[in-house]
Structure formats: structure tokens, C-alpha cells
Structure 1
Amino acid sequence: MKQLQYFFGLMASLWFASCDSGVETERISPDNLVAVSSLISPQDSVVRVYVYQGKALDELARSDAAIISDAQVTIEEGGILHSLVFDAKTNSYSISNQEIKIAASKRYNLQVTTKPGLVLKAACIVPPNPDMLLIKGWQEGNDYVFNLDWPTLDKVTFFTFRFELTDVIFKPQLGASSGPSLGFITGSNLFNNKDRPNKLFESKISNAFRAEKVALKTTFYSLESNAFNYLKTKDDAYSWSANTSGLIPNLREPQPVFSNIQGGVGIFGAYNQAITVTSIK
């Protein structure tokens, strides 16, 4: 489930989306507003769906009070209906992926029915299995500079990625107290493959060659359109908020955060991933 932590870091504020004036709620009253959130992937061991009750803008949103634990949650694929069970430890509805078997290029239909009778629906198609990314790197002093080739257009439409250092063995010595560290990535790393930059993405690992051993782990996420549009508009909303204050007004109007939940707000999307480990030393 580690890959979900990456996305849920970006999605943290979704649980109380009704409290965000940038979220399009289609004029649903707060009492009838339900927020749903789920990203599914073939790589997950457990599929989870989060369901929360909305609140009015001037009400205090408490996570324990907002949880909806008595809904009926199902995911359908190919005429087979799977029921999810509420898990009090994670405050989500869950099902083992061994049972539901999320697979590439298949369509999944989500339905949430609350006890008062509200019905929310959404659908997504899991992206095809992506190819492994090609990492090209070279030594510059004690640093390792690298770039990655963009994925082919016919296999990936939307994507993002993350880098991690792994298998690090470093012993501080006199004059070499700092170990390997990844360069900071500026800007958004959510990409529409058709609009990607011409220049390859480039970064570096400082002090990589001061270590006895170090490797670069690259996780590539192929996103379907719902997941991409939600994450991109949420990222834009964060940027708009961060650059707006009473003293520094933003001349650009805020845009609604993307939602594909019929009858409510939130996201039901999918991704697929590939992992490349590049041994540096």
C-alpha cells in the first residue's frame, strides 16, 4: 500500500471537499453532500473506498463525525459485483485485491448507497501496463546526474513519477560527512504526455559516489484521465491558495476541483505502475 501514500498525500484535503469553496458541488445541500475517494491499481493488495459526509462551509469538519460507516459500497466489473466491507481501523470500505483482481485495461463501476438512500456512482478504466522507464546517468565529481526518457505516446496518456534512494550504505568520514541525497524537484510532476516538455527530465543525487553502495528506485505511475484531472486541479488549487492572501490578491479566478462522482463529490480513478531500480555504485 506504499504507493497509495504518495497519492493520498496529494489528496489529503479531499475528505472534506465540501468545505473547499473551489470544489464543484453542483448545488447539492450540505445534508445531502457525500464525498467519495478511491484510487485503484493492480499493484494494491487491498482496494479501499473512503466515504464522508459533507459539512456546510461555516461548520467545523470533524473527521470522526464525518465518517459514513453504514453505506453499501460495491464495485462491478464484467457483470461481477463485489461488496466492500467497512474497516474501522482505516475508516474505509475495503476488499482484498486477490478477490476483486484489479487488472489493466478493464473498466470498474463504483456505487455507494447511503442509509438515507443517496446513490453515488462513478466509473474508471485502469491504464495498460506501462513499460519500464529508461534511466540514463553519469558521474559528475561525487554526484550522479540522471535523466529519464519520456514514455511512448501510444501506451501512456497521463503520468507522474517519484524517485527514492535505496540500498544505501554510507559511512561518514572526515571531510565526507554528508551522504547521498536526491535533488529537490521543483514544479508539478503531473504530465499530460501530449504536452510534455521537449527536454528530458533531469535531476541528480548529490554525494552518490561517496557511498559504498546506493541505487535509484524510480516508480512510474500511468494515470487514467479521472485520476489525472483530479490531482492536477487539486495541485492547481493548492498553488492558487499558496499565492493568495489579503495583502497579495491573486488576479486569476480559482477553478473547481475535478470530480467524477455522480450525486456527490470526489474521485474514483485508477493508475498502473512500473518500478525501475538503477544501481549506481
Structure 2
Amino acid sequence: MKYSLCAVILMAGFWVTSCNSGVEIERISPENLVALSSFISPQDSIVRVYVYQGKALGDISRSETAVISDAKVTIEEEGKIHTLGFESKTNSYEISNQILKVTPSKHYTLQVTTKSGLVLKAACTVPSNPDTLLFESVKEGNDFVFSPVWPEKTSFFTFSFELKNVIFNPKLGATTGPYLGVVTGNNLYESADRPNKLLENKVYNAFLAETISLKITLYSLDKNAFNYMKTKVEAYNWSANTSGLIPNLREPQPVYSNVQGGVGIFGSYNQSINVIIIK
């Protein structure tokens, strides 16, 4: 699961002048504002941390020119401190998961110290291993309609769908092969705000294929990752519904940050995969 830090950088100056995110970043001057981003998981082979220099409101800067490459970046787990090295190909600080060994239910603390002496800290706890995501399904003509079943042991989660092992031979009257319906709405869930039914989706023309499978990935999120993703979606929706001709009368809300001494996100996730043979 990959995420871009561009939104963090673009929103940094906006946060400083407009909102209170829970972290007192309005007291940080633009030249001292640093943004970081990192999501850790037991399934990732490499742990990465992205560190950027913030900009004042109205400034424009390409993300590659804002990269901070000379900071000291460490992650601590159970008293053991691991130092991450900067990798120019990815513009991030990296360490092998074989060395750090991100483990379910463990607590990790990230610290970034810049050359100018700024210190940023953040912490997260990796979710326990989630159960396999089950689902309910029905055949409607040539379509496969399915709806995931609520995972009882998971507090915060999202999921993704992907078609696998598709063999389709176009025929007269059936020239369009299987495809997934577009997911609309908020695909982020929490136990405290449980809806009556999870998102329903459809594999169109599924039963026209010779063979086809559906891969469902459940991502169990820690609270930091969930809050960041939820508020990032809300910020995107606010921006998309704002223009010079049609102003958005709602107040803009800050993107969640759990970083002390700066802005950004240090979150974690765990995942399980279920592959269903449709035909």
C-alpha cells in the first residue's frame, strides 16, 4: 500500500495559517516546518520514511527539491534503535524489514533530527493479524455481485478488489470481458461507527469468462493511519468542491497529523488476502 506525501507538503503552509490539527504547528515558522510520512507493515520488505522541508503559504516547490536528505532518522522498538539510511533513488530513508522486523501488536517510535537541530517524533502500534475477509455473493445474469462481511476483530480497516486469472474469449454478442465496478463513497470503516452494510460491488460479465477469480485484500489500520486517510479524503473532497465560481461555504479541516515538532503521519497497517474462484 503506497501513499504520496505530496498532499502533506501542499497542505503544510495551509495548516500553519488556517487550522488547528491538534498539534500546535501554527507556532512553527515556515522555514522550520518539516513534514514526514511513513506507513509500516509486516508485509512490506522495506520500511521507508519520507522527510520534506515545508513551505510558506503560496510558495510553489517541486517535491524533489523539498527532500531533506541529511537528517538522522531512527525507529525504536522494545528499546532497540534502528538507524535508517537515505536512498537517493526513492528519496526516502530505508531499512530492510528483515532487520527492523515489523511485527503485529508491537509499538514503534520514529524520530527525525535535522541538521538544524529540529526534532520530530511520532509513534504507532501495528495492528494484530486480521481475519480473512469473508463476503456474501449472488449471481445476477452474467454478473457476480458481492458484499464483504464485517470483520469482527478489526477496529479500523479498508479493502481493495482485483481480478485475477481471467481467461475471456470474445464471442458474437459477448465482446466485453469481465470488469470491476467502480468503488464510490468512503471505503474506510471503524467499529465505533458501524454501518448496516458494507460496500456492495459487482464483477460485470464475470460468468462470460472461461476462468476468473477475485482477490480481496483487507487492510487493518492503526488509528493514526485511519485518521490520516479519512481526513485526507475529506480535504480532497473539500478542494474538489471549491472553485472561484462556486465557493465552498464549509470551513476547511486539517489533515490529521501525529508528529510532534512538525507535521505528517507515522502509521501502520496489517493485511490478509482472500482469493475467490468465481468460475
1:94 maps to what in 2? 94
Do 1:162 and 1:218's aligned partners in 2 also have CA atoms closer than 8 Å?
Answer: yes
User: 1:17 aligned to 2:35?
Assistant: no
SS, match of residue 26 in structure 2 = coil
Distance 1:93 1:178, change over 3 A: same
2:223 maps to what in 1? 225
Deviation at 1:20, TM superposition (A): 3.7
Distance in 1, matches of 2:269 and 2:139, equals 33
Do 1:17 and 1:35's aligned partners in 2 also have CA atoms closer than 8 Å?
Answer: no
SS, match of residue 201 in structure 1 = coil
Distance in 1, matches of 2:185 and 2:274, equals 23
1:123 maps to what in 2? 123
Distance in 1, matches of 2:205 and 2:14, equals 42
Distance in 2, matches of 1:257 and 1:225, equals 14
Do 1:259 and 1:267's aligned partners in 2 also have CA atoms closer than 8 Å?
Answer: yes
Distance 1:187 1:75, change over 3 A: same
Q: Residues 49-64 of structure 1 correspond to what in structure 2 (within 5 A)?
A: 49-64=49-64
Q: Residues 178-257 of structure 1 correspond to what in structure 2 (within 5 A)?
A: 178-257=176-255
Do 1:73 and 1:93's aligned partners in 2 also have CA atoms closer than 8 Å?
Answer: yes
Distance in 2, matches of 1:84 and 1:247, equals 47
Do 2:180 and 2:204's aligned partners in 1 also have CA atoms closer than 8 Å?
Answer: yes
TM-score after normalising by structure 1: 0.93
Distance 1:198 1:109, change over 3 A: same
Do 1:15 and 1:37's aligned partners in 2 also have CA atoms closer than 8 Å?
Answer: no
TM-score after normalising by structure 2: 0.94
Distance in 2, matches of 1:243 and 1:185, equals 19
Matched positions, count: 273
Distance in 1, matches of 2:260 and 2:199, equals 37
User: 1:174 aligned to 2:191?
Assistant: no
Q: Which residue identity does 1:17 align to in structure 2? A: M
Deviation at 1:194, TM superposition (A): 2.0
Q: Deviations over 1:245-264 (max 9, x none)?
A: 22222222111111011000
Distance in 2, matches of 1:176 and 1:140, equals 16
Distance in 2, matches of 1:180 and 1:115, equals 54
SS, match of residue 266 in structure 1 = strand
Do 2:6 and 2:63's aligned partners in 1 also have CA atoms closer than 8 Å?
Answer: no
Do 1:149 and 1:201's aligned partners in 2 also have CA atoms closer than 8 Å?
Answer: no
SS, match of residue 85 in structure 1 = strand
Q: Which residue identity does 1:18 align to in structure 2? A: A
Q: Deviations over 1:211-249 (max 9, x none)?
A: 111111001111111111111111101111111222222
2:163 maps to what in 1? 165
Q: Which consecutive unaligned segments of at least 5 residues does structure 2 have?
A: none
Distance in 2, matches of 1:141 and 1:229, equals 39
- Cα RMSD (Å) of the superposition? 1.4
Do 1:106 and 1:126's aligned partners in 2 also have CA atoms closer than 8 Å?
Answer: yes
Q: Which residue identity does 1:224 align to in structure 2? A: D
Distance in 2, matches of 1:73 and 1:148, equals 39
Deviation at 1:157, TM superposition (A): 1.1
Distance 1:16 1:51, change over 3 A: farther
Q: Which moved more, 1:53-62 or 1:123-132?
A: 53-62
Distance in 2, matches of 1:19 and 1:61, equals 12
Q: Which residue identity does 1:266 align to in structure 2? A: G
1:149 maps to what in 2? 149
Do 1:135 and 1:278's aligned partners in 2 also have CA atoms closer than 8 Å?
Answer: no
SS, match of residue 69 in structure 2 = coil
Distance 1:144 1:166, change over 3 A: same
Deviation at 1:26, TM superposition (A): 2.9
